[in-house]
Amino acid sequence: MEIFQLRYFETVIRQGSLTAAAAECHVSQPSLSTQVRNLEDELGVRLLERKARGVVPTRAGERLLLTTRRLLSEVESCRRDLRRRNFAGLPELRIGIQPFLASIMLPRLLAQFLGGHDSYQIMVRELPYYQLAEALASRAIDLGLSTLARPLPSPAEARELFSLRYAVICHPEHPLARIRRPRLQDLLPHRLALYNDPAGLVERLTQLGDSARQPARVIFSSNQALTVFEMASAGLGAAVLPTLFAERARRRKLVMRPLADRSLQFPVVVAWNHDLPAPPGLDAFLRVCRSSPLPA
């Protein structure tokens, strides 16, 4: 399986036509068709299906498309990375961070870290927590900032910054707003919008619902905490989110009630690859992280 074959495959699906894909890729249509067939032969599945209005992916093709787009994005990111190295002679610090942490805490940390001086070139990649360890291992980032729902595999090394608790966020008139510290079983009767970061939350709610013969009403879930927050703000359900959203909830006139269940509590860590030399500015960045008053 070659990168250029995956690029041809992705272009065919995006264009919906072999002819248009060949034109975009600057190859002949027979050559492009041959490479797609070679890819199908190697994988042992049919990836494309001809329709009256063009070409569409099969179910196997849809699955491959997800991985293909992620890989092509990584390749392009790597290409940009290499072109930008040592820009203006400044040491480069590449930070991977969960999206909600990036919007809530990273700007303040970087302002303190840089101290008004252009001492570093900072490059930020917003990644789901489960991709940060892979990014560290592949050297795509120097530092990772993430909640730690599961231990990071070697060669990642992590230091805890603070502990992150979770809460219910809802409109003031919502029944859960009247409970000072709701338990998980209190959530069962209500429509829920869930953030997928806390490990096992959906499974635990499902087990509680089965034992109480009252299935949990999970109407929306996402690995993007900001999206879940907006769903709760729109009144689609009560959201379960980190307490870092307290200020944002106040601005939207929403109520936040910390969960009584302490097992839904994870450390926020800064991590790096201990098989590599320490990234530039690591000690200074850690000092800023430890000294900055961050809500838990």
Number of domains in the chain: 3
What does the mean pLDDT of the chain come to? Answer: 84
117-121, 174-178, 201-205: the lowest-pLDDT one? 117-121
- Please give the Cα distance from 218 to 202 (Å, whole number): 8
Residues 232 and 194 in one domain: yes
Cα angle, residue 134 at apex, residues 225 and 112 outer, rounded to 5°: 60
216 in the same domain as 132:
no
Q: Tell me the pLDDT band of 292, cut-offs 50, 70 and 90.
A: low
**What is the per-residue pLDDT across 61-120, written as a single tens digit (0 to 9) for each?**
898 998 888 888 888 877 776 665 555 567 778 899 988 888 888 888 888 888 766 677
Kindly state whether residues 271 and 128 are assigned to the same domain: yes
Question: Is residue 187 a part of any domain in this protein?
Answer: yes
Same domain, 53 and 100: no
- 230 and 94 in a single domain? The answer is no
User: Percentage of the chain surpassing pLDDT 90?
Assistant: 20
Instruction: Indicate the DSSP class of residue 4.
Output: H
pTM: 0.63
Same domain, 58 and 176: no
* Domain presence at residue 186: yes
Look up tokens 């291992």; give the residue. Answer: 137
pLDDT of residue 238: 94
More confident position, 158 or 254: 254
Q: By C-alpha distance, which of 93, 100, 46, 38 is closest to 224?
A: 100
Are 73 and 93 members of one domain?
A: no
Q: Please indicate, yes or no, whether residues 49 and 189 belong to a single structural domain of this protein.
A: no
Any idea what the CATH number is for the domain that residue 78 is in? 1.10.10.10
Is 296 contained in some domain?
Answer: no
**DSSP per-residue codes, 17-65:** -HHHHHHHHTS-HHHHHHHHHHHHHHHTS--EEEETTEEEE-HHHHHHH
Q: What band does 146 get if pLDDT is binned at 50, 70 and 90?
A: confident
Q: Which residue has the higher pLDDT, 187 or 200?
A: 187
Q: Is the CB of residue 109 less than 8 Å from the CB of residue 288?
A: yes
190 — pLDDT class (breaks 50, 70, 90)? very high
Residues 153 and 275 in one domain: yes
> Which of 84-93, 100-109, 129-138, 167-176 has the highest average model confidence (pLDDT)?
167-176
pLDDT at 296 (0 to 100): 44
What is the per-residue pLDDT across 15-64, written as a single tens digit (0 to 9) for each? Answer: 888 889 889 888 888 888 999 999 999 999 999 888 877 888 899 989 89
Residue 277: pLDDT above 50?
yes
147 with 275, same domain? Answer: yes
Domain residue limits at 94? 88-163+267-291
Residue 162: band (very low, low, confident or very high) from pLDDT cuts 50, 70, 90: confident
Residue 191 is predicted with a pLDDT of: 92
How confident is the model over 96-111, as pLDDT tens digits?
998 888 888 888 888 8
- Provide the pLDDT confidence category of residue 290 given band limits of 50, 70 and 90: confident
Residues 50 and 119 reside in one and the same domain:
no
In this prediction, residue 86 carries a pLDDT of: 54
